Amino acid sequence: MDKTIALSDITANSYVDWFISGKQGINATVQLKGQTRMLVNTGGCYAPIIQGGDDCTDSNLSITIQTDASVLDISITASDIISDDSVKYGRNFILCANLGNGYNDLYIQVSAWARRNDPMEERAFVKNLFYQYLSLENHYLFNYIGDTYVQAVCASYDQSVAAGGQLFQDWFRAQYAAVTDTLQKYKLILAALMKHEKNYANAELSYEQWADMVIAFGNKRWKESKITMESCPFQYIRGVILSKDELDGFLNCKNALQNEYFFPQQITIAASHGSVGAHLEIGPTRPLNFRNYGISVTGASQAEQQNLIAKSIAYAAPNASILIFPELSIDEEIASYLLTQLTNAPGALKLVVGGSHYPKNPPVQGSYTNSAPIFYKSGSGWIQLAVYDKMIPFSMGYTQSVADAYGFDTGKIPLADYDLLVEDIQITPRVVILPAKDGVIGIAICRDAMDLLDPHNPIHKYCTA
């Protein structure tokens, strides 16, 4: 099966960039050609990841996809590349192909623009590189701090780009021409972005959707140390590739929040006036795999929860735009009380994370999630904008003192049979992004933020607040 898509309205004598990425196991051939020459032919690549660029004299290009899959559906988005002075000088095409598993089976991005020293051309190039970085980052692990190739790339950047003698795009293409394998390609992209991102240190904080990626440029309002090499190595560029469900959620939140301002120039954090005596109860659920035993958490009494809600809202409403309740502090049954209190509270509150809870009626019986509802003030009322499910369960060692503290029956749950008590929740790797006018807010619960080495950790990948 094959399909050909025309890429029209391209200015002749443009520079053309392409990036082709296929999901693991997808077998397809992609050809990009003009009227006079073939620009790229991937051949029958297994999970192709191909990037390149070249001058092109043609004004009309086409992409042909050939595959032995029984399904070949293609979604295409085309847009003009516009300069700061509102002059069109290029064209961008994004194709997502469904070969039976979804529209992320094959991703193709083609950009064509007239050569000029323009910041927008550079930013489009950086977005292309950052998408490749996100596509490759989980495939390789190396110590970039001591790597000699990375050291050489950084030195070359300082001599050529930082010194002002060469455009970043031209320098990168020259470096890429000498790349010998995909690991070296990843090192080049990582080092180039780490060196070049400082150019966005003083840029006004902004974000945009680019294909199925959300990317942000500019200085973070909330600084965090680079605690480990596996946390995000970037300070001024952040991005995340979203699934279709995540992207739909992002667009829904964007429609609600895109004109909202949440952050003053100086962020102020304050603790609420909830009861410090409120406590959680931990109980056993079922045996799990690998010497683990499941546990669930029961919230404080309804009276304690209502006290926490009332005092926190009374304190926050006149002073804050965002109110965050602690994990597992508000049961599902108390959500209506929370909304009533919010509706009756005058003030500046715009966004509330309503703690989290285990839903009473999960989609699959016995399948728990630790879910945080997110409420937004729309007009004079409050609506539930999104729900975030915790990704990484907490755990603790199973010892006699722990069993005594929480009333575990060691006769039924022997200490000799289990090493850990693990929160019995389904892991839902689905990020929730709240894009406002002045920043992007990332949601995380407990270990989602604490486990910097975990590949599911969302905080350092996209949070800009």
DSSP one-letter string for 49-60: EEEEEEEE--S-
Identify which of 252, 269, 261 has the alpha carbon closest to the alpha carbon of residue 387: 252
Residue 452 is predicted with a pLDDT of 47
**Would 367 be classed as within a structural domain?**
yes
Strand order of the β-sheet with 281-287 is 281-287, 292-298, 420-423, 395-397
**Would 30 be classed as within a structural domain?**
yes
Residue 255 makes CB contacts below 8 A (sequence gap 6+) with none
Does the pTM exceed 0.75?
no
**Would 255 be classed as within a structural domain?**
no
Residues 63, 167 share a domain: no
Residues 425, 306 share a domain: yes
The number of distinct structural domains making up the chain is 3
**Would 339 be classed as within a structural domain?**
yes
Residues 84, 98 share a domain: yes
Q: How far apart are CA 41 and CA 47, in angstroms?
A: 14
Residues 154, 106 share a domain: no
Residues 401, 307 share a domain: yes
Range of the domain at 130: 118-200
For the stretch 198-201, contacts whose Cβ atoms lie closer than 8 Å and that sit 24 or more positions apart, written own/partner, are: 198/236, 199/236, 200/236, 200/237, 201/235, 201/236
Residue whose structure tokens are 């300069």: 83
Please answer whether residues 20 and 49 qualify as being in contact, where contact means their C-beta atoms are separated by less than 8 angstroms. yes
Residue 15 is predicted with a pLDDT of 79
Residue 401 makes CB contacts below 8 A (sequence gap 6+) with none
Asked which of 93, 116, 139 is the last residue of a domain, the reply is 116
**Would 6 be classed as within a structural domain?**
yes
Identify which of 341, 305, 350, 357 has the alpha carbon closest to the alpha carbon of residue 323: 350
Identify which of 402, 381, 422 has the alpha carbon closest to the alpha carbon of residue 295: 422
Identify which of 219, 221, 252, 253 has the alpha carbon closest to the alpha carbon of residue 236: 219
**Would 58 be classed as within a structural domain?**
yes
Residue 442 is predicted with a pLDDT of 82
Query: What DSSP string describes 68-109?
Result: SSS--EEEEEEEEEE-TTS-EEEEEEEEEEESSS-TTSEEEE
**Would 368 be classed as within a structural domain?**
yes
Residue 451 is predicted with a pLDDT of 62
User: pLDDT tens, position by position, for the chain (465 residues)?
Assistant: 889 999 888 877 777 878 888 876 777 888 998 888 888 888 765 445 677 777 777 778 899 998 888 889 998 988 887 765 667 778 889 999 888 888 878 888 888 877 655 555 788 889 888 988 888 776 776 767 778 899 899 999 999 998 888 889 889 989 988 888 888 988 999 999 999 999 998 887 788 887 788 888 887 665 554 433 344 678 888 888 888 888 888 888 888 888 888 776 666 666 655 555 556 678 898 898 888 999 888 777 888 888 888 888 888 888 888 898 888 888 888 888 898 888 888 888 889 998 888 888 766 666 788 999 999 998 878 989 999 998 888 889 999 999 998 899 999 999 999 999 988 888 777 888 888 887 788 888 887 776 644 544 444 444 433
Residue 157 is predicted with a pLDDT of 95
Residue 124 is predicted with a pLDDT of 83
Asked which of 200, 219, 241 is the last residue of a domain, the reply is 200
Tokens of 253: 């939140």
